[in-house]
A and B are shown apart, each in its own frame.
Chain A
Amino acid sequence: DTGVSQDPRHKITKRGQNVTFRCDPISEHNRLYWYRQTLGQGPEFLTYFQNEAQLEKSRLLSDRFSAERPKGSFSTLEIQRTEQGDSAMYLCASSQNTAGGPGGTQYFGPGTRLTVL
């Protein structure tokens, strides 16, 4: 399977702890996206990268959240000092974007479900 993969699939943590999630995109894709989805809602955009550059961040991405894509391949999303309101499904997607193009189709991974106790 050469789709988007995410690790771990489930994470339970206590309030105040730090957590880190990993996303491996489809190998030839240059863009990588993070979204958050809560129950009964559609995914909400958090941030995205083109290669290793972080091009856009949502205001949802507070200073407790940080994302990296150091070599332009996999990405990590870290949440520091977790709060119960951070409980959600964290989705990663990737796409292949060509210069000046509208941006390719985003392919989604299975998500990491975070529960903060």
Chain B
Amino acid sequence: AQSVSQHNHHVILSEAASLELGCNYSYGGTVNLFWYVQYPGQHLQLLLKYFSGDPLVKGIKGFEAEFIKSKFSFNLRKPSVQWSDTAEYFCAVKGSGNTGKLIFGQGTTLQVKP
């Protein structure tokens, strides 16, 4: 079955700490991968995406993610978090064909202490 697993449900960091959120997926075939973020009281918005090419992708607000095909992983990283990064983060996958269906992980809540 197609699925996405996010290892950490709740992460608490101090400002300036480095962040890595794990994401593994199970999907038979070529995939497109996404990280979405939901700030308190706001819509889901796209942080970054991987379709093809360089497996290290850069997104908004200093975030990046690396696609490791052999590990079925797409971990999100940021070298130095800020209080404003406090949010819920969702990893998602879809097949690289014409399907529109996104499969989301259960999310990771990040709390950054000032």
Chain A residues at the B interface, C-beta cutoff of 8 Å: 3-4, 31, 33, 35, 40-45, 48, 50, 55-56, 58, 91, 93, 95, 97, 100-103, 105-111
Contact = CB atoms under 8 A, between A and B. Distances in A.
A42 B92 contact: yes
Interface string B26-43: 000000101010000001
Interface stretch (B67-75, B77-85, B102-110): B102-110
A55 B97 CA distance: 13
B103 A45 contact: yes
Interface residues of B, number: 25
Interface of B: 4, 32, 34, 36, 43-46, 49, 51, 90, 92, 94, 96-107
Contact of B44 (A43, A50, A95): A43
A40 B106 contact: yes
Contacts of A50: 100
A102 B95 CA distance: 8
Contacts of A4: 43
Contacts of B49: 105
A55 B104 contact: no
A45 B101 CA distance: 6
Contacts of B94: 103
A55 B107 CA distance: 27
Nearest to A109: B43
A31 B102 CA distance: 13
> What 6 A-B pairs are tightest by C-beta distance, nearest first?
A42-B104, A108-B44, A48-B100, A45-B101, A43-B104, A42-B90
A55 B100 contact: yes
Contacts of A108: 36, 43-45
A22 B36 CA distance: 23
A4 B44 CA distance: 11
B43 A105 contact: no
A103 B100 contact: yes
Contacts of A56: 99-101
A55 B99 CA distance: 9
